[in-house]
Amino acid sequence: MTDREQLLDDLRPGSFAIAYRMLGSVAEAEDVVQEALLRLHRALEGGEQIRSPRAFVATVTTRLAINELRSARARRERYVGEWLPEPIITDSSDDPARHAEMADSLSMAMLVLLESLSPEQRAVLLLHDVFDYDHAQIAQIIGKSQDNVRQLASRARRHVEQRRPRFQTTREQQEELSRRFFQAVEHGDLGGLETLLAHDVRLTGDGGGKAPALARSVRGRNPVARLLINWVRRAARVPGVSLRPVEVNGGPGALYFDAQQRLIAVVALDIAGGQIKSISSIVNPDKLAHLGPVGDLTSLLRAAR
């Protein structure tokens, strides 16, 4: 590997971290990363003196993501059913404190909340609060004055803080809650399941019109608990369905597979204050393909009936 190739390889994870949080889509983020790295390669090939390749790539990544987000908004308005980000499987083996900080910005609940911000607000909030860029650096990246950046950051932070509890649960507590959650669901323990759910818990399914999913989110401890148990009873009629606990978007979750070990669903839990605040179920096959072979959930459920 040449020094140039090594540099591009080293810059890829940081670029993806920004692009994915901006866009909530693995495919769109990878396209943005590829273009950002290509522009750096061309600039260096052309003899440009780039003092900080990392800053160059972060700037291009952010600007491309802002443009992509503007066009993505129109597509998402036509999306069938509820929209959720494409899930990613994350690794919790790094520094616990840093992991908690980064995981909160990756959670399904946070990425959905970020959708309600303008592209510039989203960029400023992420660059400052997650990636530790200062206001002067962000002003250069997005082409705004520092005063504008501060205003964008303040509005975005106020919006998020009003709707999002802070990260309050340790990783050990999350793992224990997750274990008890999936156990209660599997055994049909309605009472046990309800004790784990927040009173205003939200269950959201994303099928994109391509797999069976909730048309709208369901809220409330008892309705969500009953719906989950009914789902599992239906799934139990499908031979060979299995569950694998994993970390999804920085938090507890699970992958569901069919008898041929093809992925049919990803479930992610958002936990705060010792309770499960939201449950996201992604069954849209287009959003699962980057994780491996995908099964046909519609056919499986039809056969089970």
pLDDT in tens, 3-41: 888 999 999 999 999 999 999 999 999 999 999 999 999
pLDDT tier at 140 (50, 70, 90 boundaries)?
Answer: very high
Taking the C-alpha atoms of residue 64 and residue 273, their distance in angstroms, rounded to an integer, is 36
Instruction: Give the model's pLDDT for residue 239.
Output: 87
Residues of the chain with CATH 1.10.1740: 1-78
- Return the structure tokens found at 53: 């390749």
Query: Structure pTM?
Result: 0.91
Flag whether pLDDT at 91 surpasses 90.
Answer: no
Hey, which residues does 266 pair with through a beta bridge?
255, 282
Residues 44-55 have a mean pLDDT of 92
Helix axes 221-236, 297-304, angle to 10 degrees: 80
Q: Please, what is the average pLDDT of the chain?
A: 91
The DSSP output letter for 87 is P
The CATH code of domain 1-78 reads 1.10.1740
Pick 92 or 141 by higher pLDDT. 141
pLDDT (tens digit per residue) in 157-180: 999 888 776 556 788 899 999 999
Instruction: Give the model's pLDDT for residue 38.
Output: 97
The CATH code of domain 171-304 reads 3.10.450.50
Annotate 77-96 with b (16+ C-beta within 10 A) or e (fewer). eeeebbbbbbbbebeeeeee
Residues 122-139 have a mean pLDDT of 95
Instruction: Give the model's pLDDT for residue 191.
Output: 95
Flag whether pLDDT at 56 surpasses 90.
Answer: yes
C-alpha angle 71/74/76, rounded to 5°?
Answer: 110
Hey, which residues does 279 pair with through a beta bridge?
203, 269
Taking the C-alpha atoms of residue 162 and residue 106, their distance in angstroms, rounded to an integer, is 18
3-state secondary structure of 211: coil
- Residue 44 main-chain phi, psi, to 5 deg: -70, -40
β-strands 218-219, 197-206: how paired? antiparallel
Residues of the chain with CATH 3.10.450.50: 171-304
Residue 185's contacts (CB-CB under 8 Å, 6 or more residues apart) are 193, 228, 229, 232
Taking the C-alpha atoms of residue 245 and residue 217, their distance in angstroms, rounded to an integer, is 23
